[in-house]
Amino acid sequence: MEEAMKEGITLLTTYGLKVIGAILILIVGKMVANWVQKRVGNWLGRSGKVDETLKGFLSNFARYGVLIATVLAVLGQFGIETTSLIAVLGAASLAIGLALQGTLSNVAAGVMLLSFRPFKTGDVVETAGIKGSVKSISLFVTELATPDNVQILVPNSQVWGTVVKNYSHHETRRVDLVMSIDYGDDIDKAQAVVEHVVKVDARVLTDPAPMVVVGNLGESSVDLTIRVWCQAGDYWPVKFDLTKTLKQRFDAEKLSIPFPQRTIHMVNANG
């Protein structure tokens, strides 16, 4: 009995100190991890060049790195061989990676999107056959909102592996319109009306200068091609307002917008 008590005291003394040491390592490791996460986030925030999503990812990555080192230190405290454990974890990671190729490809694409930033939150883009405004970019999916406010979640691998049209990247955009007039109407008069409407709209930029030309001689009409530049945010208001105003001015100036029509020649077979 006495021998068992001595052995118990020895075990308690030996492993009790290790348990206390492990607990202290865990507490300190967690504090250091939180501190590192906060410091990395603040440092990236001060740079002003890092996207919010990327800032969160990098700060969390740093935190988990410290936590992993803490766990390895705790295992070493109990004499566990961490080298062999790392090898086992590596093999397990390889097996998991092969089983989750699609998911990991989304993660890899998410890292590339966050690093190279072909677009940012709030931009209007078209990718993977979908057009909408970017709401968020995570490691797995990119969230878009369509013009009628429908949520679309696109896997990052599809976004990174296809063409991306970013309608918000440049400060200005070109508005293209086509106004048709009858073949009997005065082309110069129609061009003058269009140029006046364009000139009085303060949202239309003077550089590059607006362009009003005869773009096509159609089957039923003479088509005027109108190209004006505006701020990217004014694109749709300018397009809609110019279309309405030009129609009203053409009506006021007696410039007709012809319907599709064909001339049919009737031949009498009997002469």
Domain hosting residue 79, numbered range: 2-99
Q: Residue 126: give its domain's CATH number.
A: 2.30.30.60
Q: What is the mean pLDDT of the chain?
A: 81
Q: Determine what percent of the chain is predicted with pLDDT higher than 90.
A: 36
Within this chain, do residues 183 and 229 fall inside the same structural domain, yes or no?
yes
If one compares 197 and 42, the residue with the highest pLDDT of the two is 197
Asked if 136 contacts 53 with a C-beta cutoff of 8 angstroms, the reply is yes
Nearest one of 1, 101, 122 to 52, comparing CA atoms: 122
Banded model confidence at residue 138, pLDDT cuts 50, 70, 90: confident
Residue 67 lies in a domain: yes
Helix, strand, coil percent content, the chain, rounded in steps of 5: 55, 20, 25
Q: Confidence class of residue 107 from pLDDT cuts 50, 70 and 90?
A: confident
CA separation, residue 173 to residues 28, 238, 241, 261 (Å): 54, 11, 16, 34
pLDDT digits (tens, 9 = 90+) for 232-268: 989 999 999 999 999 999 999 998 888 776 677 777 7
Q: Which of residues 166, 196, 224 is at a domain's end? A: 166
Q: What backbone torsions phi and psi does residue 204 show, to the nearest 5 degrees? A: -80, 130
Does residue 75 lie in a domain region? yes
Assigned domain for 270 exists? no
Q: Where are the beta strands (DSSP E) in the chain?
A: 124-127, 130-137, 141-145, 151-155, 164-166, 172-181, 211-217, 222-231
- Structural domains of the chain, count: 3
| Strands 130-137 and 141-145, bridge-based pairing | antiparallel
216-220: Cβ within 8 A, 24+ apart = 218/180, 219/260, 219/262, 220/180, 220/258, 220/259, 220/260, 220/261, 220/262
Residue 28 and residue 47 in one domain: yes
Let me know if residue 158 belongs to a domain.
yes
Query: Contacts for 142-150 with beta carbons within 8 Å, 24 or more apart?
Result: 142/113
Which pLDDT value is given to residue 41? 78
Confidence of residue 51 (pLDDT cuts 50, 70, 90): low
- Do 181 and 257 contact (CB within 8 A), yes or no? yes
Distances in Å between the alpha carbon of 119 and those of 50, 110, 125, 134? 12, 12, 8, 8
Residue 269 lies in a domain: no
From 72, 99, 126, give the residue that closes a domain.
Answer: 99
**pTM above 0.85?**
no
Q: Residue 166 — very low, low, confident or very high, per pLDDT cuts 50/70/90?
A: very high
Residue 159 sits in the same domain as residue 180:
no
Query: If we measure between CA atoms, which residue out of 57, 60, 44 comes closest to residue 136?
Result: 57
Looking at residue 128, its pLDDT comes to 86
DSSP 3-state of 213: strand
Regarding whether 91 and 19 lie in a shared domain, the answer is yes
DSSP state letters, 183-201: TTS-HHHHHHHHHHHHHH-
What's the rounded mean pLDDT across residues 168-181? 93
Are 150 and 221 members of one domain? Answer: no
Same domain, 206 and 226: yes
Q: Apex CA 131: angle with CA 130 and CA 135, to 5°?
A: 105
**Residue tagged 């993660």 (tokens):** 107
- 45 and 94 belong to one structural domain: yes
pLDDT at residue 77 tops 60: yes
pLDDT range class, residue 100, cuts 50, 70, 90 = very low
Residue 196 lies in a domain: yes
CATH number assigned to the domain comprising residue 228: 3.30.70.100
- Angstrom distance (rounded) from CA 23 to CA 201: 71
Query: 259 in a domain, yes or no?
Result: no
What's the average model confidence in pLDDT over 30-48? 79
Is the pLDDT assigned to residue 78 strictly greater than 70? no
In this structure, is residue 89 part of a structural domain?
Answer: yes
**Is the same domain home to 160 and 176?**
no
Q: Band of the pLDDT at 10, cuts 50, 70, 90?
A: low
Bridge partner list, 217: 222
Q: Report the run of H or E that residue 69 belongs to, with start and end.
A: helix 52-77
Say yes or no: 160 and 180 in one domain.
no
Identify whether residues 7 and 73 lie together within a single domain. yes
Question: Is the same domain home to 177 and 126?
Answer: no
Cα distances from 15 to residues 9, 19, 21, 77, 79, in angstroms, run: 10, 6, 9, 10, 11
Number of Cβ atoms within 10 Å of the Cβ of 267: 5
pLDDT, tens digit, 9 for 90 and up, residues 15-29 = 666 677 777 878 888
pLDDT band at 165 (very low <50, low <70, confident <90, very high): very high
Give the residue-averaged pLDDT of 78-105.
61
pLDDT beyond 70 at 207: yes
Apex CA 110: angle with CA 107 and CA 112, to 5°? Answer: 115
CATH of the domain at 60: 1.10.287.1260
Residues 178 and 158 in one domain: no
pLDDT greater at residue 110 or residue 269: 110
